Chain A
Amino acid sequence: QQQVKQSPQSLIVQKGGISIINCAYENTAFDYFPWYQQFPGKGPALLIAIRPDVSEKKEGRFTISFNKSAKQFSLHIMDSQPGDSATYFCAAIFANNLFFGTGTRLTVIP
């Protein structure tokens, strides 16, 4: 059973557009929600993360929005660039174990 549900599976965005990836969870014991970026042939790398007592966190062009009551969180990539083309994973942490979503392959078209 997937602990963290992620959508969409793939996403195509024009350069300069906004990319939005959504995740949902059921386990209210999760206490930390990171996002990872993975390029082909590489391991995942931490992009940005949020705690459940915060509704939004912004770092540069990347923003996490968190809705605790709905048990949903999302990643927004503003002014998307071709270099952002990668697979993005949301994740959630419980008991110091990291559970991943199924991933979203983002393609940014020049």
Chain B
Amino acid sequence: NAGVTQTPKFQVLKTGQSMTLQCAQDMNHNSMYWYRQDPGMGLRLIYYSASEGTTDKGEVPNGYNVSRLNKREFSLRLESAAPSQTSVYFCASIGALWTSTDTQYFGPGTRLTVL
């Protein structure tokens, strides 16, 4: 049981390049989330998927797209990276509700730098 895994751990892009951040969970969780963490801003929700086949925008969705490929995997795509997207990205999954305190997990993060 690996929990939530994210790849890659680190990435450097040039402005305008594209890339996909991968997230997978092996806990049979329904809901998955993508957050970005910036200094002084805390974590902000980019997109989430309440269940397989559904996705919804969070607070800061501009410049990103997501795919809930199956119940296990939830990917985040940057089509044309910008320096403002330099951040640490966290994927999270929950069994049902955030209030179920024993079934929520965050991945280890992907540190992305856009030059």
A interface residues, how many (CB within 8 angstroms): 25
B-facing residues in A65-93 (Cβ within 8 Å): 89, 93
A2–B107 Cα distance when bound, in Å, is 23
A95–B43 Cα distance when bound, in Å, is 17
Interface pair A46/B101, CB less than 8 Å apart? yes
A102–B35 Cα distance when bound, in Å, is 13
Query: Residue A99 at the B interface, CB < 8 A?
Result: yes
A-facing residues in B29-79 (Cβ within 8 Å): 31, 33, 35, 40-45, 48, 50, 58-59
Report chain B residues within 8 Å CB of A89: 42-43
Query: Residue A16 at the B interface, CB < 8 A?
Result: no
* A97 and B48 contact, Cβ closer than 8 Å, known pairs A41-B108, A49-B99, A89-B42: yes
Interface pair B40/A9, CB less than 8 Å apart? yes
A99–B43 Cα distance when bound, in Å, is 8
A45–B109 Cα distance when bound, in Å, is 13
Contact of A103 among B4, B42, B106 (CB under 8 A): B42
Interface pair B42/A49, CB less than 8 Å apart? no
The distance from the CB of B97 to the nearest CB of chain A, in whole angstroms, is 6
Query: Residue B25 at the A interface, CB < 8 A?
Result: no
What are the nearest 6 A-B pairs in CB distance?
A43-B106, A100-B42, A102-B42, A100-B43, A32-B99, A93-B98
Question: What are some 25 contacts across the A-B interface (CB < 8 A)?
Answer: A6-B42, A9-B40, A31-B99, A32-B99, A42-B108, A43-B105, A43-B108, A43-B109, A44-B106, A46-B104, A49-B99, A49-B101, A89-B42, A96-B50, A96-B97, A96-B98, A97-B48, A98-B33, A98-B45, A99-B45, A100-B35, A100-B42, A102-B41, A102-B42, A103-B40
